[in-house]
A and B are shown apart, each in its own frame.
Chain A
Amino acid sequence: MTEKLLISLTVNGEQHDDLVVESRHTLVDVLRHRLGLTGTHVGCEHGICGACTILLDGAPARACLIFAAQAEGQDIRTVESLADGGELNDLQRAFSAHHGLQCGFCTPGFLMLAEGFLAERPEATREEIREVVSANLCRCTGYQTIVDAIEDCARTRRGEVGEPR
């Protein structure tokens, strides 16, 4: 029997009441198919690739490894929350400036991973950034430009100027 649940989710500051979902629906599927927030991508669906990374109460998490019902009452943030109006945020601009993306499939996951990580650890070193981005798969960039982008964004947020490294 396919069980239907009535849940409410808070996504990017907006509360969505009266969502009818199946208990087996993962958060990423509900974000995309019920709320139309297709910025969060679906890759492997078993927690390996990181394309579906979102923030749950500020912490990066895999939206494919969470049932939507589990996320009730938590603050969910997706990639759509980063830009303000038509204006990309500083992290997105850094990805663009450093060519931190090519095909763009993995990019929403990397952006949310980096947002969550830098919020907890604004003083992150390049080594720590390298370690953290190993969580997600990118098959275009070779990672160096992603690390450059995140490091540049972190340095700018810290008010540092001049050449890194």
Chain B
Amino acid sequence: MKPAPFTYHRARDVAGAIALLAELGEDAKYLAGGQSLVAMMNFRLARPAHLVDLGGLRGELAYVREDDGVLRLGALTTHHQVESAPLGPDFAVLREAMSWIGHLPIRTRGTVGGSLAHGEATAEWCLLAVLLGAEVVVQGVGGRRTVPAEELFLGFFTTALEPEEMIVEVVFPRPAPHAALTEFAQRRGDFATVAAAVDLDAGRVVLGGVAPVPLRVPEAEAVLARGGTFAECAEAAAAAIDPPADGDGGAGYRRALTRTLLVQACEEAMRR
């Protein structure tokens, strides 16, 4: 339960951190809030040779800016900062969804960018980014590029980021006044067995816990588009997915959760 030895580096600016990571190679990792990475290192599931601590960049990369229907979050913004931010109705879904992330002492440290880069398939930020069509601003040695959230997650804990690339900002480009996320776990604060998110304005449905990545479900979105009921939408989603079976539940159980949670999410989104 103690991490393997590594060399600690402290980032002084974004460009310097990226250059350093490029130089150190694939055995180096950025350390943001560390709420997933340090736990994995304690278990020695991760054994990076180098860590580049981004804590010193909080002044530059931790912010919540809502302007004219567009929300920009600095990559080092913590979940708790979003939870406490005076967000208007356009992005209240984000504030409300934060309560699903672990517990308060996790949310005071964990970051938006760190969560996206980690790419856990039930992580709330991963679902929300896909749901709301977020644009993930990424900086590497060659400069900046924008990755649509839907193209960020390639598979189980695998993202489209190059090894040295750093998420610097997440942009939510359109208001989502009628969106909601809900989930189920055996114990509150655990990883979700199934998570369901819906944006009624954009007609999007995203599920977590049913595939290696946050999954958009076109079959369920088609039901919303033709004005079907929430129950029909949830039924279409349950029929479309091929969920895994593990200790938290079988495929049939996850389908049943999908039916229930998606209706709940739709109703919650409608009430907003």
The reply to whether A65 and B38 form a contact with Cβ atoms under 8 Å apart is yes
B103–A50 touching, CB < 8 Å: yes
Which residues on A are within 8 Å of B, measured CB to CB?
1-3, 5, 22-24, 26, 29, 45-47, 50, 53, 56, 59-62, 64-67, 69-70, 113, 116-117, 131-132, 134-136
Distance of A135 from chain B, by nearest CB (Å): 3
The complex places the Cα of A59 from the Cα of B38 at a distance, in Å, of 19
A134-B103 in contact given A3-B7, A59-B80 (Cβ < 8 Å) = yes
Q: A53-B105, A56-B108, A61-B109 are in contact. Are A23 and B42 (CB under 8 A)?
A: no
Nearest CB on A from B207, distance (A): 25
Q: Is B31 an interface residue (CB 8 A)?
A: yes
Answer whether A26 and B108 are a contact pair too, CB < 8 Å, given A1-B5, A2-B5. Answer: no
Tally of A-B Cβ pairs under 8 angstroms = 99
Contact at A47–B39, with CB atoms within 8 Å? Answer: yes
Q: Which B residues lie at the A interface, using CB under 8 A?
A: 1-8, 10, 31, 34-35, 38-39, 41-43, 51, 53, 55, 80, 99, 102-106, 108-109, 187-189
Instruction: State the CA gap A23–B39 with chains docked (Å).
Output: 15
- Asked whether A70 and B53 contact (CB < 8 A) given A3-B6, A24-B5, A24-B6, the answer is yes
Partner of A135, one of B34, B41, B80, B105: B105
A22 touches B5 (CB 8 A): yes
A-B contact pairs, 24 of them (CB 8 A): A1-B7, A24-B3, A24-B4, A26-B3, A26-B38, A26-B42, A45-B2, A47-B39, A47-B106, A56-B108, A59-B80, A60-B104, A60-B105, A65-B42, A67-B34, A70-B34, A113-B104, A116-B104, A134-B103, A134-B188, A135-B102, A135-B103, A135-B105, A136-B103
Q: List A contacts of B99 (CB < 8 A).
A: 131
Q: Which residues of B contact A67 (CB under 8 A)?
A: 8, 31, 34, 38, 51, 53
Contacts A5-B8, A23-B6, A134-B188 given: A59-B43 contact, CB under 8 Å? no
Is there contact, CB below 8 Å, between A23 and B5?
A: yes
A60 touches B3 (CB 8 A): no
A66 to B31, CA, bound (A): 10
How far apart are the CA atoms of A24 and B7 in the complex, in Å? 8
| B8→A62 contact, CB < 8 A | no
Given A24-B2, A24-B3, check contact A66 B53 (CB 8 Å): no
Contact A69 B109 (CB under 8 A): no
User: Which residue of B has the minimal Cβ distance to A5?
Assistant: B8
Q: Nearest-CB distance from B118 to chain A (Å)? A: 13
**Which A residues are in CB contact (< 8 Å) with B55?**
70
Give A97 Cβ to nearest chain B Cβ, in Å. 24
Establish whether residues A23 and B104, one from each chain, have CB atoms under 8 Å apart when the complex forms.
no
Inter-chain contacts of B42 with A (CB < 8 A): 26, 45-46, 64-65
Q: How far is the CB of B28 from chain A (nearest CB, A)?
A: 13
